[in-house]
Structure 1
Amino acid sequence: MGVAVAEKPKGKEKDERRERLLRLLTYEVVDGRPIYYRGYKKALELMLSGEQPEESMGASFWHSDLLASLIWFLKNELGSAYRVVGGE
């Protein structure tokens, strides 16, 4: 029984992948210069090392569960006088 091993990108292919990932991590472009999200270097390093993007993102299961619990609590305590929303 064999094991499939993915080869690491080399040369031009590696540069193209890096550029594509940098575009994903760009917040906005001002005067032709990209402004990246905070922590982009760590995220780029993780993604280039073969980890999945989800592994380097901040909203884990525990984070989402905590946020949902907090929203539920606030909605029950504040009633209909206030609207409780979640997001970034």
Structure 2
Amino acid sequence: MSKSYKKHPYLKESSQHTKYGKKFANRKVRKSEETLQHKDYKKQYCSWEISEYKFYMSEQEVINEFFASRNEEYHWMKKFKTLKEALTWWKKTYLRK
């Protein structure tokens, strides 16, 4: 079976504990000037836009970060022992669905 890939490789932070995006979307709908009928609230705010943070990191940035982390004592890239592991992580989190 072939692997499917994202059209735009980015990572969205979507923790269940952070509900700020949904809170602001609901506030926008509740405080609107218009009187909303039935399903009109769906037109006010796109549900796909509700996310706290979006991260983008290209493959070249992963390679640069990997080699830069070798000079620093504490760096989040230190957990990868080889460049292949770092690129596999990038493909898993950013590129693949």
**Greater helix content:** 1
By relative contact order (CA 8 Å, sep 6+), the higher-ranking structure is 2
- TM-score, structure 1 normalization: 0.30
**Greater strand content:** 1
- TM-score, structure 2 normalization: 0.28
